[in-house]
Amino acid sequence: MAAKPFASSADLGVKEQTLEVLADGVYALTAEGDPNLGAIEGEDFLVCFEALATPVAARRWLAKLREHTDKPVRYLVLSHYHAVRVLGASAFDAEIIVSSEQTKGLIAERGQQDWESEFGRMPRLFEEPESIPGLTWPTMTFRDKLTIELGGDRGELVLEFLGRGHTEGDIVAWIPKHEILFAGDLVESQAALYTGDAFHFDWASDTLDRVKALGAQQLIGGRGAIARGRDEVDAAIEQTRDFLLTMQRTVGDVHRAGGTLKQAFEATHTALAPKYGKWPIFEHCLPFDVQRIWDEMDGIERPVIWTAERDRQVWDELQG
Ligand SMILES: [Zn+2]
Protein backbone atom coordinates (compact mmCIF):
# COMPACT_ATOMS: atom_id res chain seq x y z
CA MET A 1 0.00 0.00 0.00
CA ALA A 2 1.30 3.47 -0.88
CA ALA A 3 2.10 5.73 2.09
CA LYS A 4 -0.56 8.32 2.80
CA PRO A 5 0.43 11.88 1.83
CA PHE A 6 1.50 13.90 4.88
CA ALA A 7 -1.39 15.48 6.83
CA SER A 8 -3.49 17.64 4.43
CA SER A 9 -0.59 18.37 2.05
CA ALA A 10 -2.37 16.66 -0.85
CA ASP A 11 -5.72 18.36 -0.19
CA LEU A 12 -5.76 21.05 -2.87
CA GLY A 13 -9.47 21.26 -3.73
CA VAL A 14 -10.93 24.73 -3.24
CA LYS A 15 -13.90 24.81 -0.85
CA GLU A 16 -17.10 26.73 -1.35
CA GLN A 17 -17.54 29.52 1.24
CA THR A 18 -21.06 30.34 2.37
CA LEU A 19 -22.06 33.40 4.40
CA GLU A 20 -25.22 32.89 6.43
CA VAL A 21 -27.20 35.46 8.39
CA LEU A 22 -28.14 33.76 11.67
CA ALA A 23 -30.06 36.66 13.20
CA ASP A 24 -30.20 40.42 12.74
CA GLY A 25 -26.53 41.45 12.64
CA VAL A 26 -25.07 37.98 13.26
CA TYR A 27 -23.09 36.32 10.47
CA ALA A 28 -21.28 33.05 9.97
CA LEU A 29 -19.07 31.80 7.20
CA THR A 30 -18.77 28.07 6.67
CA ALA A 31 -16.57 26.40 4.09
CA GLU A 32 -17.24 22.69 3.64
CA GLY A 33 -15.02 21.62 6.53
CA ASP A 34 -12.42 24.41 6.32
CA PRO A 35 -12.24 26.76 9.35
CA ASN A 36 -15.43 28.71 10.08
CA LEU A 37 -15.68 32.41 10.93
CA GLY A 38 -18.20 34.77 12.48
CA ALA A 39 -19.15 38.42 12.87
CA ILE A 40 -21.51 40.23 15.24
CA GLU A 41 -22.74 43.78 14.72
CA GLY A 42 -22.74 46.33 17.49
CA GLU A 43 -24.61 49.64 17.03
CA ASP A 44 -21.62 51.32 15.41
CA PHE A 45 -18.94 48.66 15.30
CA LEU A 46 -18.29 45.04 14.42
CA VAL A 47 -16.91 42.15 16.40
CA CYS A 48 -15.22 39.53 14.23
CA PHE A 49 -14.57 36.00 15.44
CA GLU A 50 -11.51 34.18 14.03
CA ALA A 51 -9.13 35.38 11.33
CA LEU A 52 -8.07 32.53 8.98
CA ALA A 53 -4.48 31.69 8.07
CA THR A 54 -3.43 34.72 6.02
CA PRO A 55 -4.59 38.31 5.42
CA VAL A 56 -5.32 37.44 1.78
CA ALA A 57 -7.66 34.62 2.84
CA ALA A 58 -9.30 36.87 5.45
CA ARG A 59 -9.90 39.62 2.89
CA ARG A 60 -12.13 37.31 0.85
CA TRP A 61 -14.31 36.77 3.91
CA LEU A 62 -14.33 40.49 4.67
CA ALA A 63 -15.45 41.26 1.10
CA LYS A 64 -18.47 38.97 1.62
CA LEU A 65 -19.19 40.53 5.00
CA ARG A 66 -18.97 44.04 3.51
CA GLU A 67 -22.00 43.24 1.33
CA HIS A 68 -23.98 43.34 4.61
CA THR A 69 -22.31 45.99 6.76
CA ASP A 70 -19.64 48.66 6.49
CA LYS A 71 -19.13 49.16 10.23
CA PRO A 72 -15.50 49.22 11.36
CA VAL A 73 -14.06 46.23 13.21
CA ARG A 74 -13.56 47.26 16.84
CA TYR A 75 -12.84 43.78 18.21
CA LEU A 76 -11.24 40.80 16.55
CA VAL A 77 -11.75 37.80 18.85
CA LEU A 78 -9.38 34.85 18.64
CA SER A 79 -10.90 31.64 20.02
CA HIS A 80 -7.45 30.05 20.42
CA TYR A 81 -3.87 30.34 19.19
CA HIS A 82 -3.78 27.99 16.17
CA ALA A 83 -2.15 29.56 13.13
CA VAL A 84 -5.00 28.87 10.68
CA ARG A 85 -7.28 30.93 12.97
CA VAL A 86 -5.07 33.89 13.82
CA LEU A 87 -2.41 34.77 11.23
CA GLY A 88 -4.88 36.60 8.94
CA ALA A 89 -5.58 39.16 11.70
CA SER A 90 -3.94 42.17 10.05
CA ALA A 91 -6.62 42.23 7.31
CA PHE A 92 -9.28 43.27 9.84
CA ASP A 93 -7.72 46.60 10.91
CA ALA A 94 -9.23 45.85 14.31
CA GLU A 95 -8.91 48.39 17.09
CA ILE A 96 -8.57 45.62 19.66
CA ILE A 97 -7.51 41.98 19.35
CA VAL A 98 -9.01 39.87 22.14
CA SER A 99 -8.09 36.43 23.45
CA SER A 100 -7.80 34.62 26.72
CA GLU A 101 -4.67 35.30 28.76
CA GLN A 102 -3.81 31.63 28.27
CA THR A 103 -3.92 32.02 24.47
CA LYS A 104 -1.61 35.01 24.56
CA GLY A 105 0.83 32.97 26.64
CA LEU A 106 0.66 30.10 24.14
CA ILE A 107 1.39 32.45 21.23
CA ALA A 108 4.50 33.66 23.07
CA GLU A 109 5.54 30.14 24.00
CA ARG A 110 4.81 28.22 20.78
CA GLY A 111 3.21 30.49 18.17
CA GLN A 112 6.19 30.40 15.83
CA GLN A 113 6.53 26.61 15.89
CA ASP A 114 2.77 26.25 15.44
CA TRP A 115 2.90 28.51 12.36
CA GLU A 116 5.57 26.33 10.75
CA SER A 117 3.80 23.11 11.73
CA GLU A 118 0.39 24.17 10.41
CA PHE A 119 1.85 25.57 7.20
CA GLY A 120 3.37 22.15 6.50
CA ARG A 121 0.20 20.29 7.42
CA MET A 122 -2.34 22.44 5.57
CA PRO A 123 -0.57 24.46 2.86
CA ARG A 124 -3.80 25.14 0.94
CA LEU A 125 -5.17 27.27 3.79
CA PHE A 126 -2.11 29.54 3.67
CA GLU A 127 -3.16 31.59 0.68
CA GLU A 128 -0.25 33.90 -0.22
CA PRO A 129 1.71 33.11 2.94
CA GLU A 130 4.08 36.04 2.37
CA SER A 131 1.15 38.37 3.20
CA ILE A 132 1.43 37.36 6.90
CA PRO A 133 3.24 40.20 8.69
CA GLY A 134 4.26 38.09 11.72
CA LEU A 135 2.68 36.52 14.77
CA THR A 136 -0.66 37.96 15.92
CA TRP A 137 -0.53 39.56 19.38
CA PRO A 138 -3.73 40.03 21.39
CA THR A 139 -4.05 43.54 22.84
CA MET A 140 -6.79 42.75 25.38
CA THR A 141 -6.91 39.54 27.40
CA PHE A 142 -9.04 38.06 30.16
CA ARG A 143 -8.98 34.97 32.32
CA ASP A 144 -12.60 33.74 32.56
CA LYS A 145 -15.16 36.12 31.09
CA LEU A 146 -15.42 39.37 29.15
CA THR A 147 -18.73 41.00 28.24
CA ILE A 148 -19.02 43.39 25.30
CA GLU A 149 -22.09 45.66 25.25
CA LEU A 150 -23.27 45.78 21.64
CA GLY A 151 -25.34 48.96 22.10
CA GLY A 152 -28.93 49.88 21.18
CA ASP A 153 -31.18 46.89 21.75
CA ARG A 154 -28.56 44.44 20.51
CA GLY A 155 -27.79 43.03 23.92
CA GLU A 156 -24.38 41.74 24.79
CA LEU A 157 -21.71 39.41 23.56
CA VAL A 158 -20.18 37.21 26.23
CA LEU A 159 -16.69 35.82 25.69
CA GLU A 160 -15.98 32.99 28.06
CA PHE A 161 -13.30 30.45 28.96
CA LEU A 162 -15.18 27.26 29.86
CA GLY A 163 -12.22 25.09 30.81
CA ARG A 164 -9.34 23.41 29.03
CA GLY A 165 -10.31 21.60 25.86
CA HIS A 166 -9.05 21.76 22.29
CA THR A 167 -6.19 23.85 23.73
CA GLU A 168 -5.31 25.29 27.11
CA GLY A 169 -7.06 28.59 26.37
CA ASP A 170 -10.10 28.23 24.11
CA ILE A 171 -12.91 30.74 24.48
CA VAL A 172 -16.44 30.78 23.08
CA ALA A 173 -18.57 33.74 21.98
CA TRP A 174 -22.13 33.64 23.25
CA ILE A 175 -25.03 35.93 22.26
CA PRO A 176 -27.72 35.42 24.94
CA LYS A 177 -30.34 37.51 23.11
CA HIS A 178 -30.30 35.19 20.08
CA GLU A 179 -29.04 32.05 21.84
CA ILE A 180 -26.25 31.77 19.28
CA LEU A 181 -22.89 30.25 20.18
CA PHE A 182 -19.61 30.50 18.29
CA ALA A 183 -17.81 27.54 19.86
CA GLY A 184 -14.49 27.62 18.03
CA ASP A 185 -12.76 24.24 17.89
CA LEU A 186 -14.35 23.10 21.17
CA VAL A 187 -17.18 21.65 19.09
CA GLU A 188 -17.05 20.23 15.58
CA SER A 189 -20.23 19.53 13.69
CA GLN A 190 -19.73 16.74 11.18
CA ALA A 191 -15.97 17.27 11.05
CA ALA A 192 -13.19 15.28 12.70
CA LEU A 193 -11.47 16.63 15.82
CA TYR A 194 -7.93 17.89 16.02
CA THR A 195 -6.75 17.09 19.55
CA GLY A 196 -2.98 17.35 19.21
CA ASP A 197 -2.88 20.25 21.69
CA ALA A 198 -5.85 19.11 23.74
CA PHE A 199 -6.70 18.16 27.30
CA HIS A 200 -8.89 15.19 26.40
CA PHE A 201 -10.20 14.44 29.89
CA ASP A 202 -11.20 17.99 30.83
CA TRP A 203 -12.69 18.58 27.39
CA ALA A 204 -14.91 15.47 27.30
CA SER A 205 -16.31 16.16 30.78
CA ASP A 206 -16.64 19.58 32.45
CA THR A 207 -15.79 21.75 29.46
CA LEU A 208 -18.36 20.22 27.10
CA ASP A 209 -20.90 20.13 29.96
CA ARG A 210 -20.48 23.88 30.33
CA VAL A 211 -20.79 24.42 26.57
CA LYS A 212 -24.01 22.41 26.57
CA ALA A 213 -25.41 24.21 29.61
CA LEU A 214 -25.46 27.50 27.69
CA GLY A 215 -28.45 26.08 25.83
CA ALA A 216 -27.65 27.40 22.37
CA GLN A 217 -30.27 27.27 19.63
CA GLN A 218 -27.64 27.77 16.92
CA LEU A 219 -24.05 26.64 17.19
CA ILE A 220 -21.15 27.40 14.88
CA GLY A 221 -18.28 25.00 15.50
CA GLY A 222 -14.71 25.28 14.34
CA ARG A 223 -15.37 23.41 11.14
CA GLY A 224 -18.43 21.92 9.49
CA ALA A 225 -22.07 22.87 9.13
CA ILE A 226 -24.02 25.17 11.44
CA ALA A 227 -26.12 23.27 13.96
CA ARG A 228 -29.67 24.63 14.18
CA GLY A 229 -32.14 23.86 16.95
CA ARG A 230 -31.43 22.09 20.24
CA ASP A 231 -31.37 18.63 18.69
CA GLU A 232 -28.66 19.50 16.18
CA VAL A 233 -26.71 21.55 18.74
CA ASP A 234 -26.73 18.71 21.23
CA ALA A 235 -25.84 16.23 18.48
CA ALA A 236 -22.76 18.29 17.57
CA ILE A 237 -21.68 18.50 21.22
CA GLU A 238 -22.24 14.80 21.79
CA GLN A 239 -20.46 13.89 18.55
CA THR A 240 -17.46 15.80 19.84
CA ARG A 241 -17.67 14.03 23.20
CA ASP A 242 -18.10 10.60 21.59
CA PHE A 243 -14.95 11.10 19.51
CA LEU A 244 -13.00 12.02 22.66
CA LEU A 245 -14.41 9.20 24.79
CA THR A 246 -13.72 6.65 22.06
CA MET A 247 -10.09 7.81 21.99
CA GLN A 248 -9.90 7.60 25.78
CA ARG A 249 -11.17 4.04 25.69
CA THR A 250 -9.13 2.67 22.78
CA VAL A 251 -5.85 4.37 23.61
CA GLY A 252 -6.40 3.69 27.33
CA ASP A 253 -6.83 -0.05 26.76
CA VAL A 254 -3.57 -0.32 24.81
CA HIS A 255 -1.69 1.96 27.20
CA ARG A 256 -2.77 0.00 30.29
CA ALA A 257 -1.88 -3.30 28.62
CA GLY A 258 1.65 -2.07 27.94
CA GLY A 259 1.15 -1.89 24.16
CA THR A 260 2.73 0.50 21.69
CA LEU A 261 1.67 3.87 20.33
CA LYS A 262 1.24 2.29 16.91
CA GLN A 263 -1.16 -0.31 18.34
CA ALA A 264 -3.11 2.46 20.05
CA PHE A 265 -3.31 4.33 16.77
CA GLU A 266 -4.59 1.29 14.90
CA ALA A 267 -7.19 0.45 17.53
CA THR A 268 -8.42 4.05 17.54
CA HIS A 269 -8.54 4.22 13.77
CA THR A 270 -10.59 1.03 13.67
CA ALA A 271 -12.99 2.33 16.32
CA LEU A 272 -13.50 5.80 14.84
CA ALA A 273 -13.36 5.21 11.08
CA PRO A 274 -16.86 3.73 10.57
CA LYS A 275 -18.49 6.87 11.99
CA TYR A 276 -15.91 9.63 11.36
CA GLY A 277 -13.58 8.32 8.65
CA LYS A 278 -15.24 10.26 5.84
CA TRP A 279 -15.33 13.57 7.64
CA PRO A 280 -12.89 16.39 6.85
CA ILE A 281 -9.30 16.04 8.14
CA PHE A 282 -9.87 12.67 9.86
CA GLU A 283 -6.76 10.95 8.45
CA HIS A 284 -4.75 14.13 8.82
CA CYS A 285 -5.52 14.64 12.51
CA LEU A 286 -5.57 11.14 13.96
CA PRO A 287 -1.81 10.48 14.37
CA PHE A 288 -1.34 13.80 16.18
CA ASP A 289 -4.46 13.19 18.26
CA VAL A 290 -3.34 9.75 19.41
CA GLN A 291 0.18 10.96 20.20
CA ARG A 292 -1.20 13.70 22.45
CA ILE A 293 -3.63 11.50 24.42
CA TRP A 294 -0.84 8.92 24.78
CA ASP A 295 1.34 11.67 26.25
CA GLU A 296 -1.48 12.61 28.63
CA MET A 297 -1.71 9.00 29.77
CA ASP A 298 2.05 9.08 30.31
CA GLY A 299 1.46 11.97 32.72
CA ILE A 300 2.65 14.77 30.42
CA GLU A 301 0.45 17.60 31.63
CA ARG A 302 0.94 20.23 28.92
CA PRO A 303 1.03 19.38 25.20
CA VAL A 304 4.51 18.90 23.75
CA ILE A 305 5.19 21.65 21.19
CA TRP A 306 4.60 20.51 17.62
CA THR A 307 7.39 21.39 15.23
CA ALA A 308 7.65 20.58 11.53
CA GLU A 309 10.17 17.86 12.49
CA ARG A 310 8.04 16.25 15.21
CA ASP A 311 5.04 16.30 12.84
CA ARG A 312 6.96 14.20 10.32
CA GLN A 313 8.29 11.79 12.93
CA VAL A 314 4.87 11.03 14.34
CA TRP A 315 3.32 10.86 10.89
CA ASP A 316 5.94 8.42 9.61
CA GLU A 317 5.60 6.24 12.68
CA LEU A 318 1.80 6.04 12.59
CA GLN A 319 0.56 6.73 9.06
CA GLY A 320 3.72 5.94 7.09
ZN1 LIG B 1 -7.56 24.66 16.51
Strands (E), the chain: 18-23, 26-31, 34-41, 46-49, 73-77, 96-100, 140-142, 145-149, 156-161, 171-175, 180-184, 218-221, 227-228
274 Cα to the center of ligand 1, angstroms: 24
* Alpha carbons 145 and 61: distance in angstroms, whole number: 27
pLDDT reading at 2 higher than 70: no
pLDDT reading at 188 higher than 70: yes
| Local confidence band at 7 (pLDDT 50, 70, 90 cut-offs) | confident
83 Cα to the center of ligand 1, angstroms: 8
| Local confidence band at 155 (pLDDT 50, 70, 90 cut-offs) | very high
Query: pLDDT tens-digit profile of 52-79?
Result: 999 999 999 999 999 999 999 999 999 9
189 Cα to the center of ligand 1, angstroms: 14
pLDDT reading at 236 higher than 80: yes
> What mean pLDDT is predicted for residues 194-207?
98
Query: pLDDT tens-digit profile of 251-264?
Result: 999 999 999 999 99
Weakest-pLDDT range from 149-158, 176-185, 277-286: 277-286
pTM above 0.85, yes or no: yes
186 Cα to the center of ligand 1, angstroms: 8
Sign of dihedral through CA atoms 90, 92, 94, 99? Answer: negative
Residue 83: name the closest of 204, 157, 167 by CA. 167
pLDDT reading at 170 higher than 60: yes
170 Cα to the center of ligand 1, angstroms: 9
pLDDT reading at 133 higher than 90: yes
| Local confidence band at 134 (pLDDT 50, 70, 90 cut-offs) | very high
Residue 83: name the closest of 13, 136, 138 by CA. 136
pLDDT score, position 1: 44
Query: pLDDT tens-digit profile of 98-113?
Result: 999 999 999 999 999 9
> What mean pLDDT is predicted for residues 282-308?
97
Residue 207 is given by DSSP the state: I
184 Cα to the center of ligand 1, angstroms: 8
| Local confidence band at 10 (pLDDT 50, 70, 90 cut-offs) | confident
pLDDT above 90 coverage of the chain, percent: 91
